[in-house]
Amino acid sequence: MRARELTSRGVARARQFLRELREDPNGRKSPPRDLLQGPEYTRPFGGDLSVDFRWHPFASRREIGEYLAPKLRPFRAWIGDRTSFWSWLGMYYFEETVRIVDGAVQLSPLDEMFVLDPLDRQNLRGVHRHCLRAAWQVYEIHGEKAAFLLNQPPTARGDIADRIFQSQRIFNSVGIVPLIFGLYTDGKRPKRGFHGRPGGFRHLLRVLDQLERTHDIYGMSPEALVRVLPREFDPWVDGAPLRGEALPDDDSEERGGVRASARVHDQKRSPEDDRSADPAEQDTHDLKLQRWEQQVRRNGLGTMRYKRFHARVGVDRATGALEGRVMSPDSGRIKIVSAPSAAEFKKAMRREVNAYLQRGS
């Protein structure tokens, strides 16, 4: 069948269908045909996309991702927030995703699991709850690194899943998602006591808010993040299956343990601070800077540091340039810097900081 989108009247009709099903969980489980094809409730999708009828329900987010990813890849750049499309798809695969126990539908009180309304601000905040969209995104962006989420049923929720899905910065981060899974799950289920114990999940979220002021946490690997966590997290870190390339600590100081030396090294050798004349090290630095810029453009925010100064860097939507406010250690603003690339931004920031220090002397 050719894919379609729900109109505003289609969204209202879909909500009515969900209300009726909540009142009678043993009632009709398939959406009305005119809700899926009728011109009053639907319109053409606008792309050459066909979806297939399935004889079996989706058993997990993994199955949804494996099915949708190849079909949606040509449209990936513009369907992420196309709520009318996801609402139609949620209705089309409703029977294949909703939880049914002993013939009765177990339906969430939140319509956003299946239907999104772009005119409703609450729905705009709840777009992460859509079961098909969430499964597709986690499969495409994280793959096996998010096996904990992929192996869950399509409508399964929980504190870990909700927090990851509702924050686009966390969801799109390089290291935070695998860090959370490594620390607080065994790959299949959350570890006991992951909520409230010292170093637990909620403690981590508070610490990440603090670290965001001084580190580019959304572009750091899970190994790099572990190095800057307080000692309360050590019981969770021990034995955690965190994978990836560790940062070297050649010129670190002796401070008792790998994590302490790595912290010192990270401060000395950040991607934003060029101190090497070695061509090989310069190439590595340039590569890190390029990756940092990619993360900023993807997540919309990053931090660059030089000496004791830092800049919160974002992307100007009109020009595509990187723009940031350079701040002194006492949080006093120096100047707003704008540049077309991370390398140019770094040079401009260094010029402003050095000029500021000369004026002060």
Q: What is the pLDDT of residue 5?
A: 93
Q: What is the pLDDT of residue 360?
A: 67
CA neighbor of 244 nearest in space, from 323, 175, 324: 175
Written as tens digits, the pLDDT of the chain (361 aa) is 889 999 999 999 999 999 999 999 888 888 998 999 999 999 999 888 888 888 788 999 999 999 999 999 888 878 888 899 999 999 999 999 999 888 888 888 889 899 987 665 444 557 888 999 999 988 988 888 888 888 889 988 888 888 888 887 888 887 898 899 888 887 777 888 787 778 888 899 889 988 888 888 888 888 888 888 888 888 888 656 654 333 333 333 322 333 433 333 343 334 444 444 455 555 566 777 777 787 777 766 777 888 778 787 888 767 778 888 787 765 556 778 888 888 888 888 888 888 888 876 5
> Any idea where the domains of the chain sit in the sequence?
4-157, 168-269, 274-361
Q: What's residue 13's pLDDT?
A: 94
pLDDT recorded at residue 271: 42
